């Protein structure tokens, strides 16, 4: 390491030049039918017994491994932090995470009330200005909203609905669909109950005979 950066680089280049020449001789030996020393030969190890590090075939020996820009080539990137499991993430989730305790500090609620008053005041002021502008143009006041449920006395019940009258002084309403009477409702319930009992206890043959009899009788 005391030779200096430039001398170390020159020596390392010379070693790599000799290694390339050695590789050419090994390839020629294999070409002539000899053993493949590149495959069966021993690996190059440093004084610590570790394989000599390299980059794209270029090897670094001794102090050359600590030269500026070389050390960074072989430094391993730190492993990414392990990802938390779903159970670990759920441990830190409580009512405060969902905002249920935002008003406990007594700060948010007064701010919301102040903002609400401000918005209402702005809306009222805007409505007053629009109303004054309409009056200035000579437009009449808008009529009160029509009661869509109110019915005139002379309105005819074309669909057969019945007027529903409440106590004295209340509005009259019209049902625009046929309203069955209590007797009709009871008769429909009885017929439905009979059909349920027939379907539950009568056989298919008996049901067919009953339908045939009704057809013959014209029922």
Phi, psi of 113, deg, nearest 5? -65, -40
| pLDDT at position 56 | 64
Each residue's pLDDT tens digit, 11-52:
989 988 998 898 899 899 989 998 888 787 777 766 655 666
Question: Domain extents for the chain?
Answer: 5-74, 183-217
| pLDDT at position 96 | 78
Q: What is the rounded average pLDDT of the residues 125-136?
A: 89
Strands (E), 51-181: 54-55, 58-59, 163-164, 173-174
Maximum distance among all Cα pairs of the chain, rounded to whole angstroms:
126
Neighbours of 23 (CB within 10 A): 13
Each residue's pLDDT tens digit, 152-169:
555 445 444 444 444 455
| pLDDT at position 144 | 47
DSSP-derived 3-state class of residue 137: coil
Cα 40 from Cα 43, distance rounded (Å): 9
């Amino acid at each position: 390491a005391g030779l200096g950066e430039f001398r170390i680089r020159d020596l390392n280049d010379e070693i790599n030049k000799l290694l390339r020449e050695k590789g050419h001789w090994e390839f020629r030996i294999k070409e002539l039918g000899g053993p493949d020393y590149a495959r069966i030969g021993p690996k190059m190890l440093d004084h610590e017994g570790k394989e000599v590090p390299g980059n794209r075939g270029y090897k670094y020996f001794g102090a050359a491994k600590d030269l500026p820009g070389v050390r960074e080539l072989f430094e391993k990137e730190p492993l990414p932090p392990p990802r938390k499991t779903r159970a670990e993430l759920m441990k830190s989730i409580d009512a405060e995470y969902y905002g249920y305790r935002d008003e406990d500090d007594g700060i948010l609620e007064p701010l919301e009330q102040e903002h609400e008053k401000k918005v209402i005041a702005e809306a009222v002021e805007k409505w007053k200005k629009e109303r004054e502008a309409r009056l200035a143009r000579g437009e009449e006041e808008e009529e009160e909203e029509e009661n869509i449920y109110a019915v005139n006395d002379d309105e005819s019940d074309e669909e057969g609905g019945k007027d529903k009258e409440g106590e004295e002084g209340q509005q009259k309403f019209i049902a625009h669909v046929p309203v069955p009477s209590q007797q009709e409702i009871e008769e429909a319930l009885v017929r439905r109950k009979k059909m349920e009992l027939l379907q539950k206890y009568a056989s298919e043959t008996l049901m067919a005979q009953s339908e045939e009899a009704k057809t013959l009788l014209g029922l």
